[in-house]
Amino acid sequence: MISTLFKRKPKAPVSPVVPQLPDGIVVWAVGDIHGCLDLLKGLVDQIMVDAAATTAERKVVIFLGDYIDRGPDSRGVLEYLLKLPRDIGIEWRFLKGNHEEAMLKFLDDPSFGPNWCEYGGDAALASYGLKPPEIRHRVEAWARVSADLDHKVTTAERDFLNSLEYSVSIGDYFFAHAGARPGVALDRQSERDLMWIRGRFLDDETPFEKVVVHGHTPTTSVYSDHRRIGVDTKAYASGELSAISLSGCRRTVLTARFAPTEAEALRSVVVMRHEEKGLV
């Protein structure tokens, strides 16, 4: 698997400029978590070990969004992210994914419940001890579920969801959940595109002014070309949660996965590492 962590798009033009971060900065970007708490803990533990070992003055961990839905423990993921240590010299940044937007929309508009549950909201509800109504076309039934969820979501969790950022820009890299619209300057992107765009972003080969690091569109391994790095490896289905570390011109992929074991209760998470330098 390590030898294929970086995929190359054939015949894509290569930018003559090697993207990099300024000296003294290291960034880790974590892909879509989707309720996979155990993988998240293993990956973050390794990132914190790496952060403690580096002499960089600024250490930034950017979560690319989609913390909830589809996987087994959406609530646990939110609780874990809220408790990350703020006194160890790491700058934690949290981006907003389309799934967080959907959960907030359901809390404010119960009629959105069927749409949310079509792409994983039922798993998030289950993590709060709730389930969709048996008769899914009745708005009043969804209103009761929304009210129950609103009661169970803590103030800290609601504040966290409402405070999520849409993008972060550092050095020659631009971080967003879904990507960016070609032909529009990165600092003028719409919130919807940053959370939802897919085909128009993926299919265009024109470079942006910075390399876009994103999640949202899953691939079997971390994808990288001259204009974007995709870090969503579909953790809830593949059992692999990935991140990319950026320092200078260096890129390092970290992938958390469960170690093989016959006993479910004894599962442990291991983190694999693969390095690339400069352009791919």
Tens digit of each residue's pLDDT (9 = 90 or more) over 4-41: 444 445 444 444 468 999 999 999 999 999 999 999 99
**Is a pLDDT exceeding 80 seen at residue 57?**
yes
Higher per-residue confidence, 180 vs 2: 180
**Is a pLDDT exceeding 60 seen at residue 279?**
no
Residue 245 pairs in a beta bridge with 28, 252
Q: pLDDT band for position 55 (50/70/90)?
A: very high
Which phi-psi region, left, alpha or beta, contains residue 239 (left: φ > 0; alpha: ψ -120 to 50)?
A: left
Contact 227, 25 (CB under 8 A): no
Contact 57, 24 (CB under 8 A): yes
Going along the chain from its start, the domains and CATH numbers come out as: 19-97+164-260+267-280 (3.60.21.10), 106-163 (no CATH)
Residue 247 pairs in a beta bridge with 26, 250
C-alpha 221/C-alpha 104 separation (Å) is 30
> In percent, how much of the chain has pLDDT > 90?
85
Higher per-residue confidence, 46 vs 17: 46
Q: In this structure, is the dihedral angle defined by the CA atoms of residues 65, 74, 120 and 111, taken in order, positive or negative?
A: negative
pLDDT of the residue at 2: 38
Three-state secondary structure along the chain?
A: CHHHCCECCCCCCCCCCCCCCCCCEEEEEECCCCCCHHHHHHHHHHHHHHHHHCCCCEEEEEECCCCCCCCCCHHHHHHHHHCCCCCCCEEEEEECCHHHHHHHHHHHCHHHHHHHHHCCHHHHHHHCCCCCCCCCCCHHHHHHHHHHHHHHCCHHHHHHHHCCECEEEECCEEEECCCCCCCCCHHHCCHHHHHHCCHHHHHCCCCCCCEEEECCCCCCCCEECCCEEECCCCHHHHCEEEEEEEECCEEEEEEEEECCCCCHHHCCEEEEEEEEECCC
**Is a pLDDT exceeding 70 seen at residue 48?**
yes
Q: How far apart are the first and last CA of the chain?
A: 17
Residue 196 pairs in a beta bridge with none
Side by side, the strands of the sheet bearing 90-94 are 90-94, 58-63, 25-30, 240-247, 250-258, 269-277
**Is a pLDDT exceeding 80 seen at residue 265?**
no
C-alpha 73/C-alpha 120 separation (Å) is 12
Nearest to 54 by CA among 8, 89, 100, 98: 89
- Arithmetic mean of pLDDT over the chain: 91
Q: Which of 5-14, 41-50, 140-149, 188-197 has the lowest mean pLDDT?
A: 5-14
pLDDT of the residue at 173: 98
Contact 158, 52 (CB under 8 A): no
Residue 229 pairs in a beta bridge with 213, 224
Nearest to 173 by CA among 221, 132, 207, 141: 207
Q: What is the pLDDT of residues 101-148, one digit of tens each?
A: 999 999 999 999 999 999 999 999 999 999 999 877 788 999 999 999
Mean pLDDT of 189-202: 98
